[in-house]
Amino acid sequence: MSEFKKLVFSGVQPTGNLHLGNYLGAIRRFVALQEGNDCIYCVVDMHALTAQLVHEDMPSQTRSIAAAFIAAGIDPEKHIVFNQSAVPQHAELAWIFNCVARIGWMNRMTQFKDKAGKDREQASLGLYAYPSLMAADILVYRATHVPVGEDQKQHLELARDIAMKFNLDYAEHIRKSGYGIDITVGDEPVHAYFPMVEPLIGGPAPRVMSLRDGTKKMSKSDPSDLSRINLMDDEEAISKKIRKAKTDPDGLPSEVDGLQGRPEADNLVAIYAALADKSKAEVLADFGGQQFSVFKPALVDLAIHVLAPITGEMRRLMDDTSHIDAILRKGGERARARAEVTMSQVRDVIGFLY
């Protein structure tokens, strides 16, 4: 192998209901990336333990994420859909990466500081170390690209740091094993086992904000259900939430610059643009100068048109979970086979007897 084969990997945690932000910022991009790419999409149930240790509905939440993948258009036959805990090689490589990563690197992770809050002494070790598991999720398949939002970009940079340190520390072992590939990182030639994974950042609405506060990201954990549109919401709920969405007293501007300082207006225009595959400028060309009493009903109709087929298919899949379970089981088998190729070579490079 003279170069790393392009492979896209990403995962979604089974914590709380999937919402519009998850769909526009992640899942819809997963679907688009299927064209021309080898893709692996994972329900990261091991990561869910860092948010909450005990889950009464973990099986249902896991199936729900998989159902959303399938309902949105991901093909589990051409690509791989599975749940993380079905592939123990993720955890095995994560331990090795725990030994590769440096405490100083982990201390720079801003998400740990945000999620742990003021009482960091009470945070779990898993929450602190989960970027190592995230790196293992990606690199156990030697994936080359990951679609991420800006809030995960720092973790991807850590995955690159871990990969680079492993490649350099085990350089001679990698070369002797015959598993490595000659790459250039900056101006430095490296005989690498793991690739320098690249982020795929973009999309029309990478950050969908709360319907109740345009300065906060739409979140599963927000106590107000009115703050988000869940993918399992029916048409009545979608209509209610959009009509009750916070706005300001002014009408819609004719130019994008007119949205500055108006986070709620900007958010609703961004959502419409993403759902319609248009730019904000194109949306304002149609609705500029009009009141929200005109714009909101149009947004309701568009949201229902886009989301209703996905919601209907998710409900159908969740009514008979045997199909979802079969997809996850087969995906897990395929993922384990790929991950074991990597792990058998990593064990050889390290010098583990097995």
- Was 216 annotated as part of a binding site? no
User: In which residue are the tokens 């030697």 written?
Assistant: 142
Q: Helix or strand or coil: residue 183?
A: strand
Q: Residue 322 annotated as binding?
A: no
Residues 6+ apart with CB under 8 A from 195: 4, 139, 142, 143, 144, 163, 181, 183
Amino acid identity, residue 244?
A: K
149 among the known binding-site residues? yes
208: annotated binding-site residue? yes
Determine whether the annotation assigns residue 253 to a binding site: no
13 is in an annotated binding site: yes
Residue 17 annotated as lining a ligand binding site: no
Q: Which of 78, 113, 118, 217 is catalytic?
A: 217
Q: Is 134 annotated as a binding residue?
A: no
**Rg over CA atoms, the chain:** 22
Nearest-angstrom CA–CA distance, 176 and 267: 54
Is 282 annotated as ligand-binding?
no
Q: In the beta sheet, which residues pair with residue 81? A: 41
Q: Is 290 annotated as a binding residue?
A: no
CB of 84 within 8 A of CB of 47? yes
For residue 26, the 8-state DSSP code is I
Pick the catalytic residue from 5, 78, 113, 115.
Answer: 115
> Is 216 a known active-site residue?
no
* Long-range contacts at 47-50 (CB < 8 A, ≥ 24 apart): 47/11, 47/13, 47/84, 47/130, 47/133, 47/134, 48/13, 48/14, 48/15, 49/126, 50/124, 50/126, 50/127, 50/130
Residue 184 labeled ligand binder: no
Please check if 215 is assigned to a binding site: no
**Catalytic pick among 165, 216, 220, 280:** 220
Q: For residues 197 and 213, give the distance between their C-alpha atoms in angstroms, rounded to a whole number.
A: 34
Our measurement of the distance from residue 137's CA atom to the centroid of its chain's CA atoms, rounded to an integer in Å, reads: 12
Q: Could you tell me the end-to-end alpha-carbon distance of the chain, in angstroms, rounded to an integer?
A: 25
22 is known to lie in a ligand binding site: yes
Instruction: Check if the beta carbon of residue 43 is closer than 8 Å to that of residue 329.
Output: no
Annotated binding-site residue numbers: 13-15, 21-22, 137, 149-151, 208, 217-221
Annotated binding site for ATP: 13-15, 21-22, 149-151, 208, 217-221
Name the residues annotated as catalytic. 115, 217, 220
Binding residues for L-tryptophan: 137
